């Protein structure tokens, strides 16, 4: 059942500086947004917009969006150049229970997989971060932009 909510002003956190990883096969954090304890309410919706650019090759480049240490998405790409990803995470009447579209390589369209859950406790300081992992140290993953929009509903 849908319910009406009073209009709320979103909180916006952004990362506009290009961050890149090359020369390593270790997972590397490209950007992090810190969410203060209690900032997110128990029925919030968090939107994350992401723009990556990668070396176009047959080698895997793994892109991740993390809420705390939980993967909101893990996306492995090969023969592509840029990736624009939109992710919604829904808080389920709790600061430590979230649901989202199935994690994986699907770009947010239909999938046969069920929604996935996370249990990240936002009653304490938490992070939302973007990471990249290469298999070839001569290649590059760049985060061109990250935008976090928090819609708080009572």
Asked whether residue 56 is assigned to any structural domain, the reply reads: yes
Contacts of 27 (CB under 8 A, 6+ apart): 62, 64, 131, 132, 133
Residue 10 in this model has a pLDDT that exceeds 90: no
Domain that holds residue 72: 11-151
| Number of Cβ within a 10 Å radius of residue 21 | 22
Lowest-confidence range among 48-62, 80-94, 111-125? 111-125
Asked whether residue 1 is assigned to any structural domain, the reply reads: no
* pLDDT, tens digit (0-9, with 9 covering 90-100), for 77-110: 998 899 888 888 999 899 998 888 765 544 555 5
Question: How confident is the model at residue 151, as a pLDDT?
Answer: 92
pLDDT tier at 31 (50, 70, 90 boundaries)?
very high
Asked whether residue 100 is assigned to any structural domain, the reply reads: yes
As a whole number, mean pLDDT of residues 70-78 equals: 89
Residue 112 in this model has a pLDDT that exceeds 80: no
* pLDDT, tens digit (0-9, with 9 covering 90-100), for 39-50: 999 999 999 999
Q: Which string of DSSP letters, residue by residue, matches 33-45?
A: EEEPTT-S-TT-E
Residue 15 in this model has a pLDDT that exceeds 90: no
How many H helices and E strands in the chain? Answer: 0, 11
Asked whether residue 82 is assigned to any structural domain, the reply reads: yes
pLDDT tier at 73 (50, 70, 90 boundaries)?
confident
**CATH at 67:** 2.60.120
Asked whether residue 6 is assigned to any structural domain, the reply reads: no
Asked whether residue 74 is assigned to any structural domain, the reply reads: yes
Residue linked to tokens 């990736």: 83
Asked whether residue 18 is assigned to any structural domain, the reply reads: yes
| Domain count for the chain | 1
Asked whether residue 121 is assigned to any structural domain, the reply reads: yes
């Amino acid at each position: 059942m849908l319910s009406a909510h009073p209009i709320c002003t979103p909180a916006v956190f952004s990362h506009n500086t290009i961050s890149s990883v090359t020369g390593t096969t270790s997972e590397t954090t490209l950007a992090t947004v810190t969410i203060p304890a209690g900032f997110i309410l128990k029925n919030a919706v968090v939107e994350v917009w992401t723009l990556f650019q990668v070396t176009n090759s047959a080698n895997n480049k793994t892109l991740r969006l993390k809420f705390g240490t939980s993967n909101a998405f893990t996306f492995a790409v090969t023969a592509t150049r840029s990736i624009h990803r939109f992710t919604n995470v829904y808080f389920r009447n709790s600061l430590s229970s979230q649901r989202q579209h199935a994690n994986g390589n699907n770009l947010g369209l239909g999938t046969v997989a069920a929604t996935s859950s996370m249990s990240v406790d936002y009653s304490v300081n938490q992070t939302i971060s973007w990471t990249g992992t290469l298999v070839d140290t001569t290649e590059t993953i760049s985060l061109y932009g990250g935008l976090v929009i928090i819609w708080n509903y009572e």
